Structure 1
Amino acid sequence: MSDEAKEGEEFTLEADSELRFEIEDKDAKVFVTLISGFAEMFGTELVKKKKYEFLTGAKVAIFTYHGCVLNVNGKTDVSYISKETPMVQYLNCHAALEQMRASAEEKDERGPIAMIVGPLDVGKSTLCRIFLNYAVRLGRRPLYADIDVGQGSISIPGTIATILIERPASIEEGFSQTAPLVYHFGHKGPGSNNVLYKATVSKMAEVTLESMNVNKRTKHSGMIINTCGWVKGDGYAHLLHTAQAFEVNAIFVLDQERLYNELLRDMPSFVRVVLLPKSGGVVERSRDLRSEQRDLRIKEYFYGHRTPFYPFSFEVKFQDLKLYKIGAPPLPDSCMPIGMKAEDNKTKVVAVTPSPSLLHHILAISFAESTDEDVIGTNVAGFVCVTDVDMDRQTITVLSPQPRPLPNTVMLLSELQFMDIV
């Protein structure tokens, strides 16, 4: 098989095989059409004769249970057909989740709360997408919780978010992003503030589990949780905490036997722990590529992906800003007020004085009216990016998805930055 899909090259796939390809060239486009048979991408069915467009950075795996013919038009960096695919095992796990949903429906109980865990770059987000797509194709309405603050598949990086999945993901754009519940964390990894991460996950779990009781269809459908790739030390402690907070009853471990055995040891007996292989098509990403993808996620928030958005730019006066960050510098225990521990500082809401150092930083607009409220436990309305700080005029200029005025003036500073170069 040649590494480059030529103009209109046809691939004939046998049952239980998949076509994998990657696009790395800048401004490259690849079009894929299902000519005959049945095929799906990460659980979403391809429509026959419809032309699908994939852009730079795409890593695609199109699977068929029964066999199909695909036409690939455009330049790929690598393209091949693989028979070595874990898709049948993934389907079996989906069937087990569906049995749990059917049982929950009969007894009017909560459906499966499943957590996908594993180290970096093993395909956790992809497996979440497959499970969610299969569920909605059967008429279910599951929740999707993404607590991977490093990449952010629902909102921007530096946040944790939940969304109700009502229809299969679009082949080209993924799941519909309407009305997500988003909480600010403000760092690229949980290790930057373990105490705050734990508190934010606990709040998200409390709110989402409560919301499941409101709608019976969602209650029976359950939830799929995507986690960070940090699985050792404090990272492992976060996995245990997440499982407890969300009252998880199924854990799927991708590609790490040690983690699987640790969870078997530490999880209560009612939690099913399953070890699964990663797909051979999963590619390890370098630190630079991860950083690029973070920037791309933030850019898409302001400028859109395939459908272009047109963000607004306007000034906000210093006096109209209520700007805070969460987490004060650590103090030795001897300097702490009586009864306070050093870790209490990790969730302290600290006022920030506007200065040139704000430039390019992301600010989360909180629904909290003031710091008298639980700022950590209050979700956010959206994000702006500081594009200019004018100390003489005492103003900042922000890039915003909505025109002025801002929906609220309580803003939380994120360590994430975005250079607004379109």
Structure 2
Amino acid sequence: MGRERHVLQRREELRFEVTFGTSSTSTLSTASGTTSFILQKGSCELYGCELAIGKTYTIAHGGIKAALFTWHGCVIDLGAVDDNSSTGGVEFFAYTSDETDANVAFVNTHAQLEALRDEAAAAIAAGTTTSTGGDGPRVMIVGPPECGKTTLAKILVAYACKVGRTPLMVDLDPMDNSLSVPGSLTVAPMASCAVSVESYATTGLPINVLYHGSTSKLHPDLFKGQIDSMAESIEKRLERDELARSSGIIVNTNGWIRDDGYDCLLYAAKSLKISVLLILGHDRLYSMLTIIPKILKLPRSGGVVSRPSRFVTSCRSRAVKRYFYGDLIPDPNASTSEDEIKVYKLSSMALSGSVLPVGQQQSTDAIQLVEIDIQNDPEEAKSLQHSLIAICHPTAVDAYNKSGRGRDLVTAGVAGFCVVDKVVTETDRLHLLSPCAGSLPSKTMIIGDITWME
């Protein structure tokens, strides 16, 4: 693989972009676009994660827009190759920039958060904690779409882990979730072992995954219910882990900042007890969000670029594939009988206030589930093919069976995800793609509107 050498001066960054392929027929399965880089001299970082000198870092399948930043100068070799001509040509380009004031602002923000963590750790050690005393900073990053929120979240997580902290990373972006599959809301404990260049500096095993079910539509009632459930799980985790409690949480959000999206943003900030709000590139938000004790307005990085819709779609497809395959190939031939499983979908029953009698409020829970009759309706069964389905926790299934409330099932964390690889109506069997071997935790599943196929 041919690489070009770049010599960076202090506080410069090497920005590069690699596409998925320009052919209209290219997919994730055919995308190659392998990118590699080697740090030859000096020091350099990707999203706050330091590179080792002499080590070759490789990122396959194209589709990356990133920047390698150096504080003191470095020499780095960078290149990309298209080893699959069927993709129609993978495009690659790189350039050096000294517009890195945002990086300085980000590390200064980290320093301020560290001071708050030290105060929380000291309070815990002295036994002077109160209901909120002893809590590390609870940070939420907000801003319009494509402004660099995820990048900042990765940097703050990497910097925190570098000094021995173990913050919880929360991703409330169902459209492009950085911790799990698209359509989910996730929270994961982060540590130095979970931060690596190859994994874009944010990987972890989610302690709670909530399946939002859609990447394009906002369901306010579902979102708020899941936020409440997530907040409860976070509180239980932090009560048992003093280091995590003093380290705090870092929350990445979606670009929903208007109408229902803004209301959901406020609700999440209140439910998660956010104490520090970081606003990227949006003066109006800075003037509106005054309910948080500490608000910092940060500059948008000069390296932030908008991503075409096709690029984002390919990134989501890659996220699903990585969830199932990772570095190992699971057994895609797991199957189960249709009469053994129950599949539900969300059916919102919320009514507009204009259609209700004057002074009357809706008595029906806004979160409702409808069971899909796959045993008696072959067409319904076939419609499941290639769908991403969430596998419910057995405890959530028990709670739902006792109460009959869809909220108890939907707002509980899921055990994981499968894809319906094939539906064989002649034998009433569903063939599932699973990320691991063995039996499923439960036979109760929830389906959204996300599909995936290789």
Q: Do these two structures clear the TM 0.5 threshold for a shared fold by scoring above it?
A: yes
Choose from 243, 247, 265 the match for 2:269: 243
Tell me, yes or no, if structure 1 residue 156 matches structure 2 residue 181.
Answer: yes
Structure 1 distance, partners of 2:117, 2:350, is 46
Which sits farther off after the overlay, 272-281 or 110-119?
Answer: 272-281
Matched to 1:18, the amino acid is E
Choose from 409, 424, 435 the match for 1:401: 435
1:3-60 Cα deviation digits (max 9, x unpaired): xxx9442211111111111112542223211111111111111111111113311222
For the 8 Å contact 1:206–1:245, the answer to whether it is kept is no
For the 8 Å contact 1:41–1:61, the answer to whether it is kept is yes
Q: Which residue of 1 aligns with 2:397?
A: 369
Structure 2 distance, partners of 1:67, 1:388, is 53
SS at match of 1:111: coil
Q: Which residue of 2 aligns with 1:124?
A: 149
Structure 2 distance, partners of 1:180, 1:309, is 23
- Return 5+ residue gaps in structure 1 as ranges: 1-5
Q: Which residue of 2 aligns with 1:92?
A: 108
Q: 1:396 Cα deviation (Å)?
A: 2.1
Structure 1 distance, partners of 2:389, 2:114, is 40
Aligned residues: 406
Q: Which residue of 2 aligns with 1:3?
A: none
Tell me, yes or no, if structure 1 residue 380 matches structure 2 residue 414.
Answer: yes
- Return 5+ residue gaps in structure 2 as ranges: 22-30, 82-90, 125-133, 375-379
Change (3 A) 1:340 1:309: farther
Q: 1:412 Cα deviation (Å)?
A: 0.9
Q: Which residue of 1 aligns with 2:223?
A: 197
Q: Which residue of 2 aligns with 1:135?
A: 160
Tell me, yes or no, if structure 1 residue 312 matches structure 2 residue 332.
Answer: yes
Matched to 1:277, the amino acid is P
Choose from 89, 95, 98 the match for 1:83: 98
Q: What value does the CA root-mean-square deviation take over the aligned residues?
A: 2.3
Structure 1 distance, partners of 2:317, 2:227, is 24
Choose from 197, 213, 218 the match for 1:186: 213
Alignment of 1:139-288 (within 5 A): 139-167=164-192, 169-174=195-200, 175-189=202-216, 191=218, 193-264=219-290, 267-268=291-292, 271-288=293-310
TM-score scaled by structure 1?
0.90
SS at match of 2:240: coil
Tell me, yes or no, if structure 1 residue 327 matches structure 2 residue 383.
Answer: no
Structure 2 distance, partners of 1:241, 1:126, is 23
Q: 1:123 Cα deviation (Å)?
A: 1.2
Q: Which residue of 2 aligns with 1:30?
A: 35
Which sits farther off after the overlay, 154-163 or 277-286?
Answer: 277-286
1:88-142 Cα deviation digits (max 9, x unpaired): 0000000010011011111221000000111111111111110011011111111
TM-score scaled by structure 2?
0.84
Choose from 61, 64, 68 the match for 2:67: 61
Q: Which residue of 1 aligns with 2:371?
A: 351
Alignment of 1:96-107 (within 5 A): 96-107=112-123
Change (3 A) 1:12 1:290: same
Structure 2 distance, partners of 1:329, 1:36, is 61
Q: 1:330 Cα deviation (Å)?
A: 5.6
Matched to 2:39, the amino acid is L
For the 8 Å contact 2:8–2:74, the answer to whether it is kept is yes
Change (3 A) 1:138 1:318: same
Matched to 1:226, the amino acid is N
1:195-243 Cα deviation digits (max 9, x unpaired): 1111101110121023112111000000000111111111111111111
SS at match of 1:389: strand
Change (3 A) 1:46 1:360: same
Structure 2 distance, partners of 1:43, 1:298, is 25
Alignment of 1:291-302 (within 5 A): 291-302=313-324
User: Percentage identity across aligned positions?
Assistant: 31
Structure 2 distance, partners of 1:291, 1:400, is 22
Q: Which residue of 1 aligns with 2:128?
A: none
1:285-318 Cα deviation digits (max 9, x unpaired): 22222222222211211222xx243242233222
